[in-house]
Amino acid sequence: MFTLPVYNSQGAEVETIKLDASVFDASLNTNSLHQAIAGYRANQRKGLASTKTRGEVSGGGKKPWKQKGTGRARVGSTRSPLWRHGGVVFGPHPRDFSYTVPQKIKAAALKTSLNLKLKENNFVILDDFKIDAPKTKEAVKVLANLKLFSAKEKKIKKVLFLTHKLESRLKAALKNINFLTVDLASDCHAYEVMNNQKLLISKAGLADLTKRLK
C-alpha cells in the first residue's frame, strides 16, 4: 500500500494519505493502455480529407477527338486520371475513423496511467486549491509552491490538474495557464494522464477517481 503526503496551497505537507491498494497496486497493463490511447486518438480524427474522381472534376464533358481514324489513343474525357487537371484514382474521401473501446479496457488503461505517474514520482496530492483572488498569477503561485512550475526552467513541464468540482473563480484563474490542463476526476482518461508529465489531484478528486476505478 502506497502512502503519499498531502500538500496545501502553500506547499506545506499537512497530512498523509494511504492510496487504495485495489487501484494503486503498481500493476501495468500496457496492452490496454495502447488500445485506449489509439482509440481515443482515432475518435479525435475528423476524416475530412477529400479528392475528386474523374466524374467529380468540373469540365471534361466533350470527347477530345473521335474514337477512330486519328491514329491517337482513344480518350473519352479530358478529366481522365492520366491527364493534367484530371481526377484522382483511389484518393482519400471523407470517412469516420471512430470506433468503440470497451469500458473495461478504458478503466484498465486509466489505472495503468495512474500507476505509471506514481512510479515516476509525478503524482502530487493537494488538499484544496485555495487562491486569494481569481487571477492567473495567484494560481501560478500555488503551482510554484508545489514545485510544479519554475520560471527558471528552460522547458516547462505539462501539468494535469484533476479536481472534484471546478468553481467559476478557480476556473477563471486557471484558464490562461498554457502548460496546465484542468479536468474533473470523474471525466479524466488515460490519454490525458499520459499526455502530461505531472499529475496534480485534489484530495476530493482522488476519492472520486478511486471510487470510479474500484
Domains in the chain: how many in total? 2
Domain end point (choices 96, 111, 132): 96
> What is the dihedral sign for C-alpha 168, 169, 172, 178?
negative
Please indicate, yes or no, whether residues 137 and 160 belong to a single structural domain of this protein.
yes
Q: Which of 60, 78, 96 is the last residue of a domain?
A: 96
User: Mean pLDDT of all residues in the chain?
Assistant: 94
Cα separation of 137 and 72, whole Å? Answer: 75
Which residue, 78, 96, 114, sits at the end of a domain? 96
Residues 40 and 118 in one domain: yes
What is the band of 36 on the pLDDT scale with cuts at 50, 70, 90? Answer: very high
Report the CATH number that the domain containing residue 132 is assigned in CATH. 3.40.1370.10
Q: CA angle, 48 as apex, 42 and 50 as ends, to 5°?
A: 130
pLDDT of residue 153: 81
**119 and 81 part of one domain:** no
Contacts of 56 (CB under 8 A, 6+ apart): 87
214 confidence band (pLDDT: 50, 70, 90)? confident
Please tell me whether residues 120 and 22 are part of one structural domain.
Answer: yes
**180 DSSP β-pair partners:** 159
With pLDDT > 70 as the criterion, what percentage of the chain qualifies?
Answer: 100
Task: Give the CA angle between residues 43, 155, 161 to the nearest 5°.
Answer: 50
3-state secondary structure (DSSP) of residue 162: strand
| Mean pLDDT calculated for residue range 92-101 | 96
Whether residue 179 sits in one domain with residue 114: yes
Reported confidence tier of residue 83, pLDDT bands at 50, 70, 90:
very high
Element (H, E) at 24: none
Considering the domain architecture, whether residues 52 and 78 belong to the same structural domain is answered as: yes
For the stretch 47-70, pLDDT in tens is 999 999 999 999 999 999 999 999
Whether residue 82 sits in one domain with residue 53: yes
Q: Looking at 98-112, 150-164, 193-207, which range is the least confident one?
A: 150-164
The three-state secondary structure class of 21 is coil
pLDDT at 103: 96
Of 83-97, 140-154, 187-201, give the lowest mean pLDDT range.
Answer: 140-154
User: pLDDT > 90: what percent of the chain?
Assistant: 90
The helix (run of H) or strand (run of E) holding residue 114 is helix 103-119
Residue 1 has pLDDT above 80, yes or no: no
The Cα 133–Cα 173 span in angstroms is 8
Which grid cell is 18?
494511504
Whether 209 shows a pLDDT value over 90: the answer reads yes
Q: For 138-193, how does the pLDDT look when each residue is reduced to its tens digit (9 = 90+)?
A: 999 999 999 998 878 878 899 999 999 999 999 999 999 999 999 999 999 999 99
